[in-house]
Structure 1
Amino acid sequence: MLAIAGGKGGCGKTTTALGLARALATLGERPLVVDADLDMPDIHHRAETDRVAGLTAVAEGQRPAAVAQRSPRFAGVDVLPCRGSDPSTAASAFRRLRQCDRPVVLDCAAGAGPDAVVPLRAADRTLLVSTPVAQSLRDTTKTSAMARQLDATPSVLLLPRSDGTTDPTPLFDCEYVVHVPELPDPPLETEESASRYLKCAKILSKRNI
């Protein structure tokens, strides 16, 4: 499982989760995007699916494939929404999701608090997301350190709204950095964004996402 994590809300984690999932689908995968933000879940809104108690249903024993909803907006992408789940329930669901034979992408809560710990503890690796401004990068270093402590080592750092001039390597020990330029709304509807997320998906696929 891959955690999409960052230090600040609004840095582009949900956009990244869906953009990456769509790219994985173009590579022949059948990704499952899981809303792991218990306080501010919004994957269902962005993916145009219903908001149902998906995590809770999986924790209670239902098969993820039976609970997940196919996104009408992103071809080949399934979504597991979150509604009314607590950290204990979410942790149980994440343990069951580890048994999936498909890529599982966790859209995590921002920061380094308890709600962010639960999905990171379940994940195998982390994709860090930060805008290229100094404060966001510094906050994301805390998330990066936490991910390493929880054995969800960061594999890629993705910088939305970046012109490519920011060099984050002094702060991060990530082998790969992907810059996504400022894009018009909606940001996932351009060929440029598709190419950047496809680049990211290819990197992760080589590392067995």
Structure 2
Amino acid sequence: MIAVAGGKGGSGKTTTTLGVADALSRRGAPVVAADADWDLPNLARLAAETRAASMTAPDSDPTLVDAIHAGGEIRLTRSAPTVLGAPKAPRDVDACPTFAALDDAVPTDAPTLLDCPAGASPDAAAPLRVADRCLLVTPLRRAALRDAAKTAAIARRLDCPPLGVVVARADSVPDGVAGLFDCPVLGRVPDAAPEPLSDPGVRSAYDGIADALVTRYGSKRWRVS
């Protein structure tokens, strides 16, 4: 289970969660992308808008709770990511046990990505407590880099070390970024508003990031081609 994390809201975590999930799916992996940002959930909406998953409208999206309460392993497809939305009543759900139950319900050879909240609150820490590793996402703005570095430090304290950094909406990456986070830069995603996941350059960037994740972490864990 990989937590997609960053310090600031709007840093590109949700787009990266879905972009990487879709790229892994293009490699034949059965992927789960789950919304762990329960205060500002938008993963399912973005999935519906970009047609990256099989549902056609946000109202039809299964939630994390739906998937867990169905019992047994979650049935996945290798043709598109399975996107799980936030609970409909998040304050009635205990986050850490829910993420742990999701981990148990997903087959061990299927990548699971958690779209994390921003900041350093207990809500933001919950998916980091459960995930095995994290993927940091940040634009190159000074405040965003500073806050992402704080998130990386928290993740390490919670035994969820970063696999690498994705630099969002950038034309190039300065040499010092990898040193700032003490982990490699796995890729740079160009700016392509307003629908980045429909842009060929963005899709290609996420394909490269997915390849890097497989090489660094998933080659012996995940079912990929």
Q: Is the structural similarity TM-score above 0.5? A: yes
Alignment match of 1:85 (pick from 83, 90, 98): 90
Aligned partner of residue 3 in structure 2, secondary structure: strand
Match of residue 101, structure 2, among 96, 104, 108: 96
> 1:88 deviation in Å?
5.2
Q: Which amino acid aligns with 2:16?
A: T
Runs of 4+ in 1 over 4 A off after TM superposition: 58-61
CA distance in 1, matches of 2:34, 2:125: 15
Is the partner of 1:192 in helix, strand or coil? helix
> Which residue of the other structure, out of 140, 145, 153, is the alignment partner of 2:153?
145
Instruction: Give the total of aligned pairs.
Output: 203
Alignment-derived partner of residue 8 in structure 2: 8
Structure 2 matches for 1:129-208, cutoff 5 A? 129-167=137-175, 168-206=177-215, 207-208=217-218
Alignment correspondent of 2:129: 121
Question: Which runs of 5 or more structure 2 residues have no equivalent in the other structure?
Answer: 49-56
Say which SS state the counterpart of residue 94 (structure 1) adopts.
helix
Secondary structure at the aligned position of 1:188 is classed as helix
Q: TM-score, normalised by structure 2?
A: 0.83
Name the CA shift for 1:87/1:152 in 2 (closer, same or farther; >3 Å).
farther
Q: 1:180 offset after TM fit, Å?
A: 1.2
Match of 1:62 in 2: 71
Tell me the percent identity: 37
Moved more, 93-102 or 56-65: 56-65
Question: Equivalents in 2 of 1:107, 1:31: separation in Å?
Answer: 13
Conserved in 1, the CA contact under 8 Å of 2:173 and 2:188? no
By percentage of residues, which structure has more helix? 2
Decide whether the 8 Å contact of 2:167 with 2:185 is kept in 1: no
Q: Secondary structure at the match of 1:143?
A: helix
Aligned match of 2:41: 41
Letter in 2 for 1:194: R
Cα distance, 1:86 vs structure 2 = 3.4
Cα contact 1:111–1:143 (8 A) shared by 2: yes
How has the CA–CA distance of structure 1 residues 53 and 90 changed in structure 2, closer, same or farther, with 3 Å as cutoff? farther
Partners of 1:132 and 1:159 within 8 A in 2: yes
- Contact 1:5–1:126 at 8 Å: present in 2 too? yes
CA deviations over 1:65-98 (Å, ceiling 9, x no partner): 26x8x8xxxx511111112223852222211122
* Aligned-residue CA RMSD (Å): 2.1
In structure 2, relative to structure 1, the CA distance for the partners of 1:165 and 1:128 (3 Å cut) is closer
Alignment gaps of 5+ in structure 1 = none
* Amino acid of the structure 1 residue aligned with 2:85: P
